[in-house]
C-alpha cells in the first residue's frame, strides 16, 4: 500500500509539473502565413496563453477566465498584433494594416454557446487573426518587404519568435524564416536583374578575395543591425514598438552620409588583416548603402542603388556594403582576417575565401571577450615542384621562335642593280663614242646593244634586299609574350614568377617588369581586382624596325588583359585596357621583350557580348 501511495504521489507531482509548465508556456512562437500579391494577406496563429499574457493581468493561482472577459481580450489583442508586427516596403514606407477577422470563442459546450477558458487545458491552443497590409503608394512594383515584430514578453524564459511562411504569388516562390524579436528581416523578391545573394540582407557576410597583387575584403550586413549605427536616432525610431512609432523608416541624405562615415571608421578600427604575420594598413574603404530590391551592377554598386540619387533612404532592409582594399608589399602566403569586436547584432559570420585556385565558405560564431570576436585564416597550399614544371610545360605549347616578325624581301629593280647597270652601260657607250672613228658601224651597233643588255642584266640580277616587319606575325608574337608576362605576375610564388619572366624578357628586366606590372594591377584594384587571367589580346598595333636593325622591333600597341573579377558574391569577366610602347629584341634566335613603357593610365572596361564570344 505505501508503495502504491508513493507511485501515485510521484505521478501526481509529475502531472502537476506538466500542468504548471503548460500554463507557464516558457516557449512562445507565432506563425505568420503570408500571401503577397497586390496586397499582403497575413494569417497570424497565436497561442491563447500569449493573448492572456498581453491583455490580462492574472494572479498565479487563477485557473479559469470568464468567456466574456476572454472575448473582449481577443478584440483588444487585434490592435496589439497590429503594433507587434510591422511591415515596410522597399522604400521604407510602412504598410497600413486592417484586421479582417478575429477568432471566435464559441464551441457550444454551454447553454449560451461559450465556456470559460481553462488555463491548464487551453493555454496551448492556437488562435488565428486575419490581417491585411496594403501600400498607400503602389506606383512601383513591390520588390521587397521588411518584417519587424515584437512577439515576446518579459515573462517568457526565452524570447518569442516569428515563424514566417511567405508565398510570393507573382513568382510562385516560397520563403520560410525564423525571425527573432526586434530584428528586421528582409525578403527580396525574385528579379531577373538582381544579382545579390538574398540572404545577404539578413546576415553578416565577408568575402575575402586574395590575389598576389591585392586583397579585397567585402563585408555586407543590414544597416540597422550594425553596432556602429545601432544608437542612431533614426535606427532607434525605426525599431521602436509603440503607437507613436514612425510610419516611415527613412534617412535623409545628410544622415545617410553621417552613418556611412561612422560605419567606415568602425571598420577601419575593428577589422584587422595580417599577411605573413604583419598587420596590413587598409589603403581604401568604399561603402555603399543598397536599398532592398535595388539592382547591383556587375562590378560596383550603382549610384542609383546606393541612394546617392535618392532624397531619402530606408533604414530597415537597407544593406551596408563595405569594400576594404589592402595592397601587401610581399607575396601572399598566410592571411588572417579578424574582427576585434562584434560588428552588430549577429550570432554568426558567413565567410567566403576566393583565390584563383579555389573558393571556400564557412560559418563562424561571434564571441564576446578576448582579443578577437572572430577570425578566419588562409594559407597558400605548397606546390609540388615536379607537377608544377610538368603543368607549365604542358601549357606552354608555343615558343617565341615560332614567329618570324621580320622577313627579307627582294625589290626589283633595286638601287644597287640600277647603279651598276647604269655605270656599265655608260662605260660601254663611252668606249664606243671615243672609238667611233676606228670602229665599223656594225661593230659600234653591236657594242651599243651589248651595253643595253648588260645594264638590263644588272637590273634583273642585282635586287635590293629589304627587312620588312610583318604586322600579323608581330601581333601574334606580342600577344604571346604579354600573356606570359601577366600569367607570371599573377603567380603567388614570387620566385616562380621571376623565373617565368626571365624566359620572355631581356636580361636584367624581369624584376623591374614584375614590379611595374604589379603596381599597374594594384593601382586599378580599387575599381576591380583580377582573380584569374583568361587572355591577353592586342587591340591596335603598329610595328617598325628600330634604327634599321632586323633584331629590334618597336611596337606601339593597345592591349586588353581579360580575366575574372569577383564582386559582391558573383564572378564576371572584365578587361583591363593598356596603351604603351613595347620593344622586342631577338636574343640567341628567340624574341624577347626588352622594354615596356606605359603611355596612358590603365582602365577597366566591361566585356561586350561579341567580345566575350557569347
Written out in words, the top-level CATH class of the domain with range 469-612 is: alpha beta
Confidence of residue 303 (pLDDT cuts 50, 70, 90): very low
Compute the average pLDDT of residues 539-566: 79
> Above 60 in pLDDT, residue 10?
no
For 3-16, give one letter per residue: b (16+ CB within 10 A) or e.
eeeeeeeeeeeeee
CB 320 within 8 A of CB 291: no
pLDDT of residue 574: 83
Tell which residue, 367, 334, 369, has the closest CA to residue 353.
334
Q: 549 or 108, which is more confident?
A: 549
Which pLDDT belongs to residue 78? 93
Supply the pLDDT for residue 388. Answer: 47
- For residue range 457-485, what is the model confidence (pLDDT) as tens digits? 665 666 655 666 777 888 888 888 888 88
Average pLDDT, the chain: 77
Cell numbers given for 601: 593610365
613 HSE (CA, 13 A, CB side): 4
| Residue 400 near residue 485 (C-beta atoms within 8 A) | no
Q: Confidence class of residue 429 from pLDDT cuts 50, 70 and 90? A: low
In percent, the amount of the chain with pLDDT more than 70 equals 70
Given a cut of 80, is residue 211 above it in pLDDT?
yes
Q: How far is CA 469 from CA 51, 202, 538, 592, in A?
A: 89, 61, 16, 16
**Residue 73 pLDDT grade (very low, low, confident, very high; cuts 50, 70, 90):** very high
- Most confident range, picked from 58-62, 161-165, 242-246, 600-604: 161-165
Residues 436-454 pLDDT 10s: 666 666 666 776 667 667 6
Select the more confidently predicted residue: 96 or 328: 96
What's the mean pLDDT in 297-305?
39
pLDDT of 394-416, one tens digit each? Answer: 444 455 556 676 665 555 665 66
Which residue is it, cell 520563403? 175
H/E stretch holding 80: helix 67-84
pLDDT at 613: 45
State the CATH class of domain 198-380.
mainly beta
In terms of pLDDT, which residue wins out, 14 or 72? 72
Per residue in 482-522, pLDDT (tens digit) is 888 888 888 767 778 888 888 888 877 888 888 888 888 87
Note the pLDDT of residue 364: 86
Query: What is the model's pTM?
Result: 0.73
546 band by pLDDT with thresholds 50, 70 and 90:
low
Question: Strand pairing partners for 579?
Answer: 558, 600
Q: Which residue from 292, 293, 290, 316 is spatially nearest to 302, judged by alpha carbons?
A: 290
305 vs 24: which has the higher pLDDT = 24
Considering only 85-99, 262-276, 384-398, which range has the smallest mean pLDDT?
384-398
Amino acid at each position: 500500500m505505501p508503495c502504491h501511495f508513493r507511485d501515485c504521489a510521484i505521478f501526481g507531482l509529475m502531472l502537476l509539473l506538466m500542468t504548471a509548465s503548460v500554463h507557464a508556456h516558457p516557449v512562445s512562437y507565432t506563425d505568420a502565413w503570408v500571401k503577397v500579391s497586390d496586397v499582403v494577406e497575413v494569417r497570424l496563429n497565436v497561442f491563447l496563453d500569449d493573448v492572456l499574457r498581453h491583455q490580462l493581468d492574472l494572479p498565479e493561482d487563477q485557473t479559469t477566465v470568464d468567456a466574456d472577459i476572454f472575448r473582449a481580450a481577443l478584440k483588444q489583442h487585434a490592435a496589439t498584433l497590429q503594433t507587434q508586427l510591422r511591415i515596410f516596403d522597399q522604400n521604407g514606407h510602412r504598410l497600413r494594416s486592417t484586421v479582417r477577422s478575429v477568432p471566435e470563442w464559441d464551441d457550444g459546450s454551454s447553454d449560451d454557446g461559450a465556456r470559460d477558458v481553462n488555463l491548464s487545458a487551453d493555454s496551448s491552443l492556437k488562435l488565428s487573426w486575419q490581417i491585411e497590409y496594403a501600400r498607400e503608394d503602389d506606383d512601383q512594383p513591390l520588390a521587397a518587404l521588411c518584417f519587424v515584430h515584437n512577439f515576446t514578453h518579459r515573462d517568457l524564459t526565452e524570447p518569442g519568435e516569428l515563424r514566417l511562411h511567405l508565398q510570393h504569388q507573382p513568382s510562385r516562390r516560397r520563403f520560410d524564416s525564423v525571425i527573432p524579436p526586434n530584428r528586421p528581416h528582409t525578403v527580396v523578391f525574385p528579379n531577373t536583374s538582381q544579382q545579390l545573394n538574398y540572404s545577404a540582407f539578413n546576415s553578416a557576410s565577408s568575402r575575402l578575395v586574395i590575389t598576389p597583387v591585392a586583397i579585397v575584403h567585402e563585408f555586407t550586413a543590414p544597416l540597422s543591425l550594425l553596432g556602429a549605427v545601432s544608437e542612431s536616432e533614426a535606427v532607434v525610431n525605426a525599431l521602436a514598438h509603440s503607437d507613436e512609432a514612425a510610419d516611415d523608416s527613412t534617412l535623409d541624405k545628410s544622415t545617410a552620409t553621417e552613418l556611412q562615415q561612422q560605419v567606415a571608421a568602425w571598420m577601419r578600427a575593428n577589422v584587422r588583416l595580417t599577411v605573413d604575420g604583419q598587420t596590413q594598413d587598409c589603403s581604401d574603404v568604399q561603402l555603399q548603402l543598397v536599398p532592398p530590391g535595388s539592382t547591383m551592377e556587375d562590378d560596383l554598386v550603382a549610384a542609383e542603388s546606393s541612394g546617392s540619387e535618392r532624397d531619402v533612404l530606408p533604414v530597415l532592409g537597407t544593406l551596408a556594403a563595405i569594400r576594404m582594399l589592402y595592397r601587401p608589399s610581399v607575396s601572399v602566403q598566410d592571411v588572417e582576417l579578424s574582427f576585434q569586436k562584434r560588428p552588430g547584432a549577429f550570432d554568426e559570420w558567413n565567410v567566403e575565401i576566393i583565390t584563383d585556385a579555389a573558393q571556400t565558405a564557412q560559418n563562424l560564431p561571434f564571441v564576446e571577450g578576448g582579443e578577437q570576436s572572430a577570425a578566419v585564416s588562409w594559407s597558400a597550399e605548397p606546390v609540388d615542384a615536379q607537377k608544377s614544371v610538368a603543368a607549365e610545360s604542358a601549357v606552354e605549347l608555343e615558343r617565341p621562335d615560332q614567329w618570324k616578325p621580320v622577313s627579307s624581301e627582294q625589290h626589283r629593280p633595286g638601287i644597287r642593280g640600277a647603279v651598276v647597270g647604269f655605270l656599265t652601260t655608260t662605260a660601254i657607250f663611252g668606249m664606243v663614242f671615243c672609238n667611233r672613228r676606228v670602229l665599223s658601224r656594225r661593230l659600234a651597233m653591236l657594242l651599243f646593244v651589248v651595253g643595253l643588255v648588260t645594264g638590263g642584266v644588272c637590273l634583273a640580277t642585282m635586287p635590293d634586299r629589304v627587312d620588312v616587319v610583318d604586322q600579323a606575325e608581330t601581333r601574334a608574337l606580342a600577344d604571346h609574350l604579354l600573356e606570359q608576362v601577366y600569367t607570371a605576375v599573377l603567380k603567388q610564388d614570387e620566385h616562380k614568377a621571376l623565373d617565368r619572366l626571365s624566359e620572355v624578357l631581356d636580361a636584367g628586366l624581369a624584376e623591374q617588369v614584375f614590379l611595374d606590372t604589379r603596381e599597374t594591377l594594384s593601382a586599378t584594384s580599387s575599381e576591380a581586382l583580377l582573380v584569374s587571367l583568361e587572355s591577353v589580346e592586342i587591340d591596335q598595333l603598329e610595328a617598325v624596325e628600330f634604327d634599321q636593325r632586323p633584331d629590334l622591333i618597336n611596337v606601339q600597341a593597345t592591349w586588353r588583359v581579360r580575366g575574372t573579377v569577383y564582386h559582391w558574391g558573383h564572378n564576371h569577366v572584365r578587361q583591363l585596357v593598356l596603351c604603351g610602347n613595347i620593344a622586342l629584341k631577338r636574343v640567341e634566335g628567340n624574341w624577347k621583350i626588352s622594354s615596356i613603357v606605359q603611355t596612358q593610365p590603365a582602365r577597366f572596361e566591361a566585356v561586350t557580348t561579341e567580345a566575350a564570344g557569347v
